[in-house]
Amino acid sequence: MNRHLPFVLGCAALALGANAHAQQAPAIDLAGAQARADATVKQMTGDEKVILTHGMMPLPFLPGTKVPEGAVPGAGYVPGIARLGVPALTETDASLGVAWVGGLRKDGATALPSGLAQAASWNPGLLYRGGAIIGAEARAKGFNVLLAGGVNLMRDPRNGRTFEYLAEDPLLSGDLVGAAIAGIQSNHIISTIKHFALNGQETGRKYVDVKIAEGAARESDLLAFQIGIEKGQPGAVMCAYNRIGGAQACASDWALNKVLKGAWGYKGFVMSDWGAVPGVEAAINGLDQQSGEQLDKGIYFADTLKAKAAGDKAWAARLDDMNRRVLTAIYAAGVDKNPARPGGQIDFAAHAQVAEEVARQGIVLLKNNGALPLAKTAKTIAVIGGYADSGVLAGSGSSLVMGEGGPAATRSLGGDGPFAALMQQSYHRSSPLKAIQASAPQATITFRDGRYIADAVEKARQAQVAIVFATEWRTEGADQPDLSLPDGQDALIAAVAAANPNTIVVLETGGPVLMPWLDKVAGVVEAWYPGARGGEAIASVLFGDTNPGGRLPVTFPASLDQLPRPKLDGSDWVEPNFGGDPAPGKDQLHSDYDIEGSDVGYRWFARKGLKPLFPFGYGLSYTSFAARDLKVSGLSASFTLANTGQRAGDDVGQVYLVRRNGAPLQRLVGFKRLSLAAGASQSASVTFDPRLLADWKDGRWTMPAGEYGFALGRNAAELGPVVTIKLPARAWKD
């Protein structure tokens, strides 16, 4: 309970994220930053007050765009105020590293594995390290703002941006994004957290209007942001494209003023998503900075805003607050005192090792009938499909990162417009085929790209082991029509499995997929989009150099019928157009999140008694584990994990709240990943965030008095004995 005293005592003003227990966050002198910001605002002229309030996209390929001097080509540029020592903001995407911008950046950057891969590690310390390296690269390339921190919950597994985000659970998402942000900001640069909020689909993303009860939002998507902000203390929050209750998220008084800045006491600034600003009124509703202004219908946060402030005291005060917030973020991160300049040194070899470690820890073993790990002495291996000879798949859109030399392979999907290159399917230069050959040097390895099934089957039949690489590509700007593997890959896998009983499927997917062939294959490895060294990480798991310890951060449904919305809203009439504007007269799209409310993902499956294909938290290992001795006292719990098998490996202890006063419910309330030698056991403790035990209603968090039952889970669907304790009633504001 103590961890929330700062809120209750009104000390929120002392942290960007209104919480004093930020994990791993670098010390931030917020009060000092605010005092400096106030002093600077006092010295600003009327003209200067509308410099930090808007920014452009410094992209030479955009029609009519001239890249200003001092800008670094990338997602955004906000000029500084030299007279006052205020640095320009140089902004780049995103959560997986310094973005490639459709080939504009030739210098290369380290691509972390996808957000889901990172989250499957269940390891905040690792996400901090990942954040630290991509923040260092951003800085070395002259950027002082990384548009990272994507933390929208997976409400629909078809969301095209699922790969950028982390999980379906607010605790896992919040803890992990907070750690990543803290790592990024350890480089004296600003990180965002995004996209605030309830940005659950790409279909009609600029106008889909989300309906959700306030309590349900607070207990789910908003809680992920709240925890992430507390732990990571990001300098900026990027508001989303969608509408919430009829208002654009970037002009939502409720989301920005009432919740973020009011209830949570957030002191940093809100920047818009690119092309998400409906007009100058967004400022009064809580937006502090208009980003990527060429994409909006007007530049509202320059002269229009200045004129408003000149004629109205409330607008003038708001404008001062907007400047104060941007400056607070700049000073708190030390952006002005530690200028980022292009041409900095990057230790790419060391960063590649971190990317590989993230991939290894995030790979999830979904099925193994004993065929894995593969023997390094295998004589014949058939590798099939997935461009495995060239590299590993990446997700596309603004977050796409590419190493030096660009993609190993691409597949153009047509389309035109300045952003078409961002929509291209691209593969990182990390060939699983080469890594497999390096792991089994004496093996004869054949490769077939899988376009011709009979030919692939022939090769599979001749080999001891067949490894099929299956890819499912996703991109920002479009959702998946369904969860099947495209391009006939299901048929390919089934045919190969029929020819070779030792068929292993390696999935490179941007989210959950269906597996109609699951019963027929010997093993399944979910490698996600595994990043710059994905090929090496995959081989290391296949041959047992890494004992897989990843656990699913999202539920894999058994069918679309199991979802709260079996049909994705708008999927029948909205054309994917990279998330652009609606066709004339076609901007009425609604999505009802009250169907599941705060029961997102596994909580929905538990509520409905549905059996998924693979549950949240699921993952196998080459050893075996026992989780035992759950003890709960007040808001903390301890348990023991034992490695009962023959190999060292990692397991993730997962504690769930499963019952409250006799009523079933399910919420992850604590987790810890431990590395255990064969035969070793270790105890661990976790502290519960009381919000996870509470409901949000009538403007406050409320815990009823009574019996709370907890269980250790191997995953959300395999729970151990219930331990029940009594807790007193409690109610509190944020």
Q: Footprint of ligand BGC on this chain (CB under 6 A)?
A: 75, 93-94, 147, 194, 273-274, 398
H helices then E strands: how many in the chain? Answer: 17, 30
Q: How far is CA 490 from the centre of its chain?
A: 27
User: Which distant-in-sequence residues (6+ apart) come within 8 Å of 406 by Cβ?
Assistant: 100, 103, 106, 426
Q: Which sign, positive or negative, has the C-alpha torsion 400, 402, 406, 410?
A: negative
Minimum CB separation from ligand BGC for residue 480, in Å?
Answer: 17
C-beta closer to ligand BGC: residue 94 or 552: 94
Minimum CB separation from ligand BGC for residue 635, in Å?
Answer: 35
Rounded to an integer, what distance in angstroms lies between the CA atom of residue 403 and that of residue 38?
42
Q: Are 459 and 488 in contact (CB under 8 A)?
A: no
Q: Are 209 and 243 in contact (CB under 8 A)?
A: yes
Minimum CB separation from ligand BGC for residue 43, in Å?
Answer: 31
C-beta closer to ligand BGC: residue 194 or 218: 194
* AA identity, residue 296: D
C-beta closer to ligand BGC: residue 293 or 508: 293
Name the one residue in this structure whose structure tokens are 């009979």.
454
C-beta closer to ligand BGC: residue 93 or 336: 93
Rounded to an integer, what distance in angstroms lies between the CA atom of residue 223 and that of residue 259?
11
Q: Are 675 and 682 in contact (CB under 8 A)?
A: no
Name the one residue in this structure whose structure tokens are 């001097």.
69
Three-class SS state of 691: helix
C-beta closer to ligand BGC: residue 186 or 199: 199
Q: How would you label 400-439 residue by residue, b for 16+ Cβ within 10 Å and e otherwise?
A: bbbbeeebbebeeeeeeeebebbbbbbbbbbbbbbbbbeb
Minimum CB separation from ligand BGC for residue 401, in Å?
Answer: 13
Minimum CB separation from ligand BGC for residue 376, in Å?
Answer: 42
Q: Is 20 exposed, middle or buried (0-12, 13-18, 19+ CB in 10 A)?
A: middle
* AA identity, residue 267: K
C-beta closer to ligand BGC: residue 243 or 308: 243
Minimum CB separation from ligand BGC for residue 249, in Å?
Answer: 11
Minimum CB separation from ligand BGC for residue 296, in Å?
Answer: 12
Name the one residue in this structure whose structure tokens are 């003209």.
47
Minimum CB separation from ligand BGC for residue 632, in Å?
Answer: 39
Minimum CB separation from ligand BGC for residue 20, in Å?
Answer: 29
C-beta closer to ligand BGC: residue 193 or 280: 193
Rounded to an integer, what distance in angstroms lies between the CA atom of residue 372 and that of residue 432?
16
C-beta closer to ligand BGC: residue 112 or 436: 112
Under DSSP, the state recorded for 302 is I
Rounded to an integer, what distance in angstroms lies between the CA atom of residue 515 and that of residue 613?
8
Rounded to an integer, what distance in angstroms lies between the CA atom of residue 306 and that of residue 685?
54
Minimum CB separation from ligand BGC for residue 73, in Å?
Answer: 12
- DSSP H/E element including 605: helix 602-608
Minimum CB separation from ligand BGC for residue 304, in Å?
Answer: 22
C-beta closer to ligand BGC: residue 194 or 261: 194
Count of CA atoms in the C-beta half-sphere (13 A) of 25: 31
Q: Which residues pair with 626 in a beta bridge?
A: 642
Count of CA atoms in the C-beta half-sphere (13 A) of 343: 1
Three-class SS state of 214: helix
Minimum CB separation from ligand BGC for residue 237, in Å?
Answer: 12
C-beta closer to ligand BGC: residue 195 or 459: 195
C-beta closer to ligand BGC: residue 230 or 273: 273
Q: Is 83 exposed, middle or buried (0-12, 13-18, 19+ CB in 10 A)?
A: exposed
Per the structure block, which two tokens stand in for 93? 């995407």
* AA identity, residue 653: G
Minimum CB separation from ligand BGC for residue 75, in Å?
Answer: 4
* AA identity, residue 60: P
C-beta closer to ligand BGC: residue 274 or 593: 274
Rounded to an integer, what distance in angstroms lies between the CA atom of residue 691 and that of residue 687?
12
C-beta closer to ligand BGC: residue 187 or 398: 398
Minimum CB separation from ligand BGC for residue 110, in Å?
Answer: 18
Under DSSP, the state recorded for 484 is S
C-beta closer to ligand BGC: residue 25 or 99: 99
Which candidate, 556, 142, 567, places its Cα nearest to that of 344?
Answer: 142
Minimum CB separation from ligand BGC for residue 400, in Å?
Answer: 11
* AA identity, residue 440: A
C-beta closer to ligand BGC: residue 93 or 536: 93
